[in-house]
């Protein structure tokens, strides 16, 4: 035996092997690409409409909405003022339109992540087997380089908003799934036993006890999901998603320091606003936990 060289598959075979997979997938995408595209059409429609709406709305109204949402979420004047000022700065430095596009894709991908992620998390919490199956998938979703899953997605759906959305969701969904699962599993045994003892059905148990008690954790998951979606903006722009990522990409290839920095900071500003507002909201949700001790 020769140990200098690993007994690898022959060069010919390896080439055929890769070719086989490639052509197989190409056939698959030729066959089903259109159907899959149609499946995502409603999502695309929604995303485009939202983007158009955000860009068509006069900027003072958007700023008022931002201020009101920040207030509703955080009940903190400091955060409201900070958010409004950030938006003024973004507009002043000419990044308004890109920011609106980014807001649109972040909102839609967060919605998708929540509506898929929370039920998945609930399923994992209810069945150990589901947890065993889903956990490694989540690991893959979080660690596999984005470029790798972009290849099949682009092969299937081409360049555009939908593949961008899918890429963002793949990366951003795991936290909300994991934390929903964790949150439900951490619900005290006593509370569940009480629900059972009073004859709650499993639906009543889920919506009346498990989800409300897991809400702080679920909310932390949603918060993480938003953050991760924002961090994917630049990569998503590589496959044709409009937004703050596009100028960043341009400034990388052209070495425009100021442009890159400005747009990068705009992403950071959005992230901080989302984070503070949602965290404040999350901690208000669990007000009952920190009640003053009454003795």
Which residues sit at the interface with other proteins, rule CB under 8 A? 190-191, 193-201, 204, 208-209, 212-213, 215, 288-295
Rounded distance, CA 174 to CA 185, Å?
16
Residue 57 vs 202, nearer CB to other proteins: 202
CB of 182 vs other proteins, minimal distance in Å: 17
- Say if CB 194 and CB 270 are below 8 A apart: no
Least spacing, CB of residue 116 vs other proteins, in Å: 25
Closest contact distance (angstroms) between CB of 29 and other proteins is 47
Q: Quick one: 38 or 204, whose CB is closer to other proteins?
A: 204
- CA–CA distance, 249 with 255 (Å, rounded to integer): 10
| Cβ nearer to other proteins, comparing 22 with 193 | 193
Nearest residue (CB) to other proteins, 197 versus 258: 197
The nearest distance, CB 208 to other proteins, in angstroms, is 7
Least Cα distance to 85 among 281, 280, 275, 272 occurs for 272
CB of 219 to other proteins, least distance (A): 13
For other proteins, the closer of residues 39 and 207 by Cβ is: 207
Residues 6+ apart with CB under 8 A from 186: 214, 217
Nearer to other proteins by C-beta: 8 or 290? 290
Distance CA 269, CA 87 (A): 9
Instruction: Kindly tell me which of 195 and 233 has the beta carbon lying closer to other proteins.
Output: 195
Of the pair 136, 199, the CB lying nearest other proteins is at: 199
Q: Work out how close the CB of 23 gets to other proteins at its nearest, in angstroms, rounded to a whole number.
A: 50
How distant is the alpha carbon of residue 213 from its chain centre?
Answer: 23
- CB 215, min distance to other proteins, A: 8
Q: Cβ of residue 186: shortest distance to other proteins, in angstroms? A: 13
User: Cβ(249)–Cβ(238) under 8 Å?
Assistant: yes
């Amino acid at each position: 035996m020769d140990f200098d060289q690993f007994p690898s598959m022959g060069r010919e075979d390896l080439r055929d092997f890769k070719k086989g997979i490639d052509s197989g997938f190409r056939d698959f995408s030729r066959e089903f690409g259109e159907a899959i595209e149609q499946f995502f059409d409603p999502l695309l429609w929604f995303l485009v409409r939202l983007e158009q709406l955000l860009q068509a709305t006069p900027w003072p109204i958007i700023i008022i909405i931002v201020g009101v949402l920040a207030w509703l979420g955080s009940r903190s004047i400091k955060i409201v003022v900070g958010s409004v000022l950030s938006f003024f700065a973004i507009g002043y430095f000419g990044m308004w339109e890109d920011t609106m596009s980014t807001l649109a894709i972040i909102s839609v991908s967060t919605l998708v992540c929540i509506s898929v992620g929370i039920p998945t998390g609930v399923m994992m919490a209810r069945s150990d087997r589901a947890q065993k199956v889903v956990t490694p998938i989540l690991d893959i979703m979080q660690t596999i380089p984005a470029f790798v899953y972009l290849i099949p997605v682009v092969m299937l759906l081409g360049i555009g908003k939908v593949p961008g959305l899918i890429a963002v969701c793949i990366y951003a969904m795991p936290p909300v799934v994991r934390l929903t699962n964790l949150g439900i599993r951490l619900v005290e045994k006593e509370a569940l036993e009480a629900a059972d003892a009073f004859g709650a059905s499993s639906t009543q148990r889920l919506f009346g006890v498990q989800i409300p008690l897991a809400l702080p954790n679920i909310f932390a998951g949603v918060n993480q999901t938003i953050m991760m979606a924002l961090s994917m903006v630049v990569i998503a722009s590589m496959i044709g998603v409009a937004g703050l990522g596009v100028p960043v990409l341009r400034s990388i290839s052209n070495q425009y320091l100021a442009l890159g920095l400005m747009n990068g900071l705009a992403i950071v500003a959005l992230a901080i606003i989302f984070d503070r507002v949602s965290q404040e909201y999350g901690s208000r949700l669990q007000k009952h936990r920190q009640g003053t001790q009454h003795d």
